[in-house]
Amino acid sequence: MHHRFSEPMKRWSEGTNNYTAGDFPAKGSVEYYSQLADHDKIFRGRRLSDSGDERLTFSDGNSSFRISSLGFLHYTTISLGTPGQKFVVALDTGSDLFWVPCDCSRCASIDNTAYNSDFKLSIYNPTRSSTNQKISCNHSMCTNRHQCLGSELFNTCPYSVSYVSPQTSSSGILMEDILHLETEDSDGEIVDAFVTFGCGQVQSGSFLDIAAPNGLFGLGFEKISVPSILSREGYTADSFSMCFGHDGTGRISFGDKGSLDQEVTPFNVDSIHPTYNVTITQLRVGSSIIDSSFTALFDSGTSFTYLTDPHYKRLTQKFHTQTKDSRHPTEQRIPFEYCYDMSYDANTSLIPSMSLTMKGEGQFFIYDPVIIISTNHEVVYCLAVIRSAEWNIIGQNFMTGYRIVFDREELVLGWKKSDCYQIEDLTELSSKSLNPNNVLPAVAAGLQDHHERIRNTGVTSGGLTFYGKKNATALVPNEGKIVCD
């Protein structure tokens, strides 16, 4: 091998009559490094070098939006296949597989629904995409090849993903197709990336009527997730960010490593099944500091925050002792234990503030620790934390007001205060994310078999659970309240 500006290359170039003085600048000169830098840019344009700070998002835009009637989760619009077919998918950092309804035996209806008029919903048809490919049983993404039984299944890899909510799952076969993306620079270059996804032929449980009826976009660590594929193929750095605005709008950006002034804390990486798990060393409620160390999963597929005892008990008791309002009687339909009566002219600034101290001493202030509920001509507010028997989960309500960076390359979680605004689409999104006429929502949370994941054809079990409609709550627009049915 010879350096492009080496003496052997210079002699060869002179012999071919291709040599000019400017082609071989003096080593160490400005011209020398300038030409090397220009050469790097050319290679970067071909995606042959490190992706650096290149950011990608979906071709329909980087906006996400909370849909109250569909589990309070954040959704975004994607385009899949050639020509592109549109889907409104839930964004879930608690699971890995990206799947959409496809060749359905049992899927959620996309016709005559409360949300169909607002969004373009589809059922993926493999025959309508000229770039579709099935994943064979000997493909690297199909890890459980023993499930490929019989001649009919030999050429296709089945998958089955189970979620926490009772009888909630998705199953079908794995496929590859083009996911249409776009660079986030001023040029807005279109990038078509082949990704592996689930052709979800059979959905059950909450996927049929409450949440993610048009697909789930897993953002986890496993190699089958889209962030893993994009970084592995050299499209972006191995990092992405999600922003959760107070008004229900948000952002998602692949390759985003955040900023130098963001707070960070390391991930606790399990080599068998890595997740976005971090260590919390202290809780602060009002004027009280609670030395309570535990690990928790940052999960965008969970609407509210879940804590196990003794951490749940310590936090809620400190909150209760510093709350001046009368405690509201427990109601079975409300999933929160600590609720308080509040008059319409009450000063919400009297509600105890809350923050988490992360490993590394970073402070994570909770901007929305409570939700306001209107029921039976009463107004109550509840600490939006639920007691959990097994897992500590930081849900979307605690992430509100932040841009959260999931840096898988540096193995750190980053956060910085952000309102997520981009003026051009606020009007459109706000009307969709807070629609009181939609079907009632479900509360989302949890990971099935968090410590011992069930593996089916290389796809791990996911991170959503939902209360039934009788326990559901619905967000009222412009008032920040929740109405219980």
CATH number of the domain at 371, please: 2.40.70.10
Which residue out of 60, 92, 247, 407 is catalytically annotated? 92
What are the backbone dihedrals phi and psi of residue 266, each rounded to the nearest 5 degrees, phi first?
A: -75, 150
Long-range contacts (CB closer than 8 Å, 24 or more residues apart) made by 187-195: 190/59, 191/56, 191/235, 193/229, 193/230, 193/233, 193/235, 194/131, 194/229, 194/233, 195/98, 195/226, 195/229, 195/230
Annotated active-site residue 345? The verdict is no
Task: Among 232, 254, 276, give the residue marking a domain's end.
Answer: 254
Spatial CB neighbours of 74, under 8 Å, sequence gap ≥ 6:
64, 65, 66, 90, 91, 242, 244, 250, 300, 396
Cross-strand bridge partners of residue 191: 181
Beta carbons of 379 and 476 less than 8 angstroms apart: no
Whose tokens are 């972006």? That residue is 236
Do 103 and 226 fall into the same domain?
yes
Phi-psi region of 121 (alpha: psi -120 to 50; beta: other; left: phi over 0): beta
Beta carbons of 114 and 437 less than 8 angstroms apart: yes
- Structure tokens, 19: 């040599």
Do 227 and 339 fall into the same domain?
no
CA distance 47 to 34: 20
pLDDT value, residue 273 = 86
* % of the chain beyond a pLDDT of 70: 71
Tell whether 318 is covered by a domain. yes
Going by C-alpha positions, the residue among 35, 160, 245 that lies closest to residue 459 is 160
pLDDT value, residue 206 = 85
| Residue 175 belongs to domain spanning | 56-254
For residue 458, give Cα distances in angstroms to 15, 144, 300.
Answer: 56, 6, 22
Residue with the larger pLDDT of the pair 484 and 69:
69
Q: How confident is the model at residue 71 (pLDDT cuts 50, 70, 90)?
A: confident
Beta carbons of 110 and 116 less than 8 angstroms apart: yes
Tell whether 334 is covered by a domain. yes
Tell whether 472 is covered by a domain. yes
Which residue out of 177, 247, 256, 299 is catalytically annotated? 299
Do 269 and 174 fall into the same domain?
no
Is the predicted pLDDT of residue 459 greater than 70, yes or no? no
CA distance 296 to 280: 7
Chain center to CA of 42: 33
Tell whether 135 is covered by a domain. yes
Going by C-alpha positions, the residue among 162, 165, 229, 144 that lies closest to residue 194 is 229
Do 413 and 319 fall into the same domain?
yes
Q: Taking the CA atoms of the chain, what radius of gyration do you get in angstroms? A: 25
Worst-scoring range by mean pLDDT, 66-80, 234-248, 255-269, 306-320? 66-80
Beta carbons of 473 and 483 less than 8 angstroms apart: yes
CA distance 289 to 352: 12
pLDDT value, residue 194 = 95
CA distance 305 to 147: 36
Annotated active-site residue 38? The verdict is no
Do 223 and 315 fall into the same domain?
no
Residue with the larger pLDDT of the pair 421 and 455:
421
Beta carbons of 255 and 230 less than 8 angstroms apart: yes
Going by C-alpha positions, the residue among 102, 274, 242 that lies closest to residue 176 is 102
Do 72 and 169 fall into the same domain?
yes
Residue-wise pLDDT for 204-223, tens only, equals: 988 887 788 899 999 999 99
The predicted model gives 101-108 an average pLDDT of 92
Task: Among 187, 219, 254, give the residue marking a domain's end.
Answer: 254
* % of the chain beyond a pLDDT of 90: 48
Is the predicted pLDDT of residue 297 greater than 50, yes or no? yes
Domain count, the chain: 2
Q: How confident is the model at residue 25 (pLDDT cuts 50, 70, 90)?
A: confident
Whose tokens are 């660079």? That residue is 183
Half-sphere exposure of 17 (CA within 13 A, CB side): 0
Do 199 and 277 fall into the same domain?
no
Tell whether 434 is covered by a domain. no
Q: How confident is the model at residue 52 (pLDDT cuts 50, 70, 90)?
A: low
Do 284 and 247 fall into the same domain?
no
Tell whether 298 is covered by a domain. yes
Do 390 and 270 fall into the same domain?
yes
Determine whether 2 is exposed, middle or buried from the number of CB atoms within 10 Å of its CB (0-12, 13-18, 19+).
exposed
Angle (nearest 5°) at CA 107 between 101 and 111? 95
Beta carbons of 144 and 457 less than 8 angstroms apart: yes
Task: Among 236, 254, 272, give the residue marking a domain's end.
Answer: 254
